[in-house]
Homo-oligomer: A and B are copies of this chain.
């Protein structure tokens, strides 16, 4: 697979990039959240997902309080380099509701 440097990621006007999180084993899409440059750096360095919480305006280490951390296997980038796909092994539920995936409802 072709490689891209994290310096080539195109963050939006707020310095954020959407990050889709997918279970690498089941292929279930678990959640989508936003990363800034620092949370992407921490994710790559520590091998666990870090995001930027837009509601709390702070870095957010997924699972820091719930224990449901996500071990990162690979970070993929789309053709425009403005969306990430993070393949993980989750330690538990991705959703704060306790659901395994945040996408537990349909229209």
Contacts and interface: CB of A to CB of B under 8 A. Distances in A.
Interface of A: 1-6, 9, 18, 20, 22, 26-29, 31-32, 44, 74-80, 83, 85, 95-97, 99, 102-107
A79 B107 contact: no
Contact of A105 (B2, B95, B103, B105): B2
Nearest to A96: B79
Given A4-B106, A4-B107, A80-B102, 14 more contacts: A1-B105, A2-B104, A6-B107, A27-B27, A31-B78, A74-B106, A76-B104, A76-B105, A78-B102, A78-B103, A79-B95, A79-B97, A79-B99, A79-B102
Contacts of A105: 1-4, 76-78
B44 A75 contact: no
Contacts of A99: 79
B103 A85 contact: yes
Contacts of A5: 107
